[in-house]
Amino acid sequence: MDNKKEIERAELHRAIWQIANDLRGRVDGWDFKHYVLGTLFYRYISEKLTDYLNEEAREAYEAGDESAKNFDYAALSDDKAMVEKDGIVDEQGDFILPSELFVNVWQNAPTNENLNETLEQVFRHIENSAMGTASEDDLTGLFEEFDVNSSKLGATVQKRNERLTKLLDGIGNMQLGHYQDNTIDAFGDAYEYLMRMYASNAGKSGGEFFTPQEVSELLTCLTVIGKTQVNKVYDPACGSGSLLLKFAKILGKENVRNGFYGQDDNLTFYNLCRINMFLHDINFDAFDIAYGDTLLAPKHWDDEPFEAIVSNPPYSQPWPGKGNPLLINDPRYAPAGVLAPTRKSDFAFILHSLAWLAASGTAAIVCFPGIMYRSGAEKKIRQYLVDSNYVDAVIQLPENLFFGTTIATCIMVLKKSKADTQTVFIDASKECVKVTNSNKLTPENIENILKLYTDRVDVAHTVHVVTGADIAAEDYNLSVSTYVEPEDTREIIDITQLNAELREIVAREAVLRTEIDRIVAEIEGEEGIAL
């Protein structure tokens, strides 16, 4: 296992737990997450801007500009900083005054009687700095859920400020280093940990399951096999953006030529994703994250098709389906001739992804296992996918990989331009290691799965390659267990030996019965004599 990753995750969780202890009993868990995540973003966006400007000054000094010696943006006066505001916004997408940087607000917090007003002003200034610029849509509303005047923080301004100070202390003292160097998705991981801490509120999550980084890596690798760059990547249910960001780490952000695209109808996730883009140094002109219902109101009609699509859409989420007669004519759903069931929109996400997939592209989608074998409309959609030769692979994952569910999910890999009519079924349910109460994919597990996928040859009890006709013969069932015979781990019984042992037992029983009859007869004879 990656020790650095686990250390970073442990530090993040320790810090969040400490903050929770400081605020527990006052701030509801589901509201608490907004304060933690918002403050994390505030810290990192401040550090990102400071590092950028300090690096520019260092380069200028090395080029001979003596005035740049010992430059530190955090120590600069606001007046001097304002001179360069427009240029900074053009390059970075936002602007923060030196006095409003996290480190300075944090330092002054214990003596700032108007801390709540200061923070509110800072957040407003950050968002307003992008007004009228290309980054406006990317910054608007990022701090909307961070209410510094909420009575949940305290009944008085003094109490609120005391808790806001503790919040700044908790985030400021986190030892996570530079965000760009982190091996974890800090915001996605923090969100998952917060859900675990406040499990009683899990219903408020809307059924979303955070995608572990290891699964994100597997999905990304499946879509870029044989490629060193792609035109655009897309996630129709993007969450915190961890799936999109894997492309930046695996390919390099410069090799995603035309940007990162995603959409989510959860406001918290929408904000988290935009935050993550900024903090992973994805410039505002290189991503387009939209807010809204992907199935009913997709925002990227003008941007499709996409060469790589990855997604972990919400499992069995209701949607209008046939209740909206217009949807059957939607070009994304019409080719299948039927809509996904109203209580289970899984296949609606799959058809949406397929419709927006480039001819040369690949889509890798995490699926709830039930959609692979259920009848009705879902069977008809499977038939459409198979008969059209779009299903390239189905990969069974281990159980207990995802927070919030122990179910063994699977991955469906879709291609529009397959070189043959084959579909590979892979049972990867044993490719994991046990970590505390869950399972995780190791780099070796990921490598093994990718090799099985690319080799495309039968392996007993693990891989079976079939044709569309074979799937049709199985009534269009796409469950891996239908095609990959599980290994029989039962003890092999030697029938001849077993029969011999049984005969021996029967013979011993006969002898024993005879002996018992003799003893009984002797006892009865003795009783008769005594009488």
pLDDT value for 142: 84
Residue stretches of the chain with pLDDT short of 70:
1-5, 23-31, 176-210, 403-404, 488-491, 526-531
pLDDT at residue 527, as a whole number: 59
Report pLDDT for 180: 53
Q: List all residues 6 or more positions away from 37 whose beta carbon is below 8 Å from its beta carbon.
A: 187, 190, 191, 268, 272, 275
Annotate 31-79 with DSSP letters as a single string: HHHHHHHHHHHHHHHHHHHHHHHHHHHHHHHHTT-GGGTT--GGGS-HH
pLDDT score for 39: 87
Domains of the chain, CATH where assigned? 3-200 (1.20.1260.30), 213-483 (3.40.50.150)
Bridge partners, 357 (sequence order): 306
pLDDT at 91: 86
With CA atoms as reference, report the closest residue to 221 among 398, 213, 421, 417.
213
CB 264 within 8 A of CB 239: yes
The DSSP letter of residue 100 is G
DSSP state, residue 429:
T
- Distance between alpha carbon 134 and the CA centroid of its chain, in Å? 28
By C-alpha distance, which of 500, 462, 465 is closest to 484? 462
d(CA 43, CA 172): 7
Torsion of CA 176, 178, 181, 187, to 10 degrees: 60
Distance CA 306, CA 260 (A): 10
Is the Cα dihedral 490, 492, 496, 502 positive or negative?
Answer: negative
- pLDDT in the model for residue 490: 64
pLDDT in tens, 175-218: 765 555 555 556 556 655 665 554 444 334 434 456 888 899 99
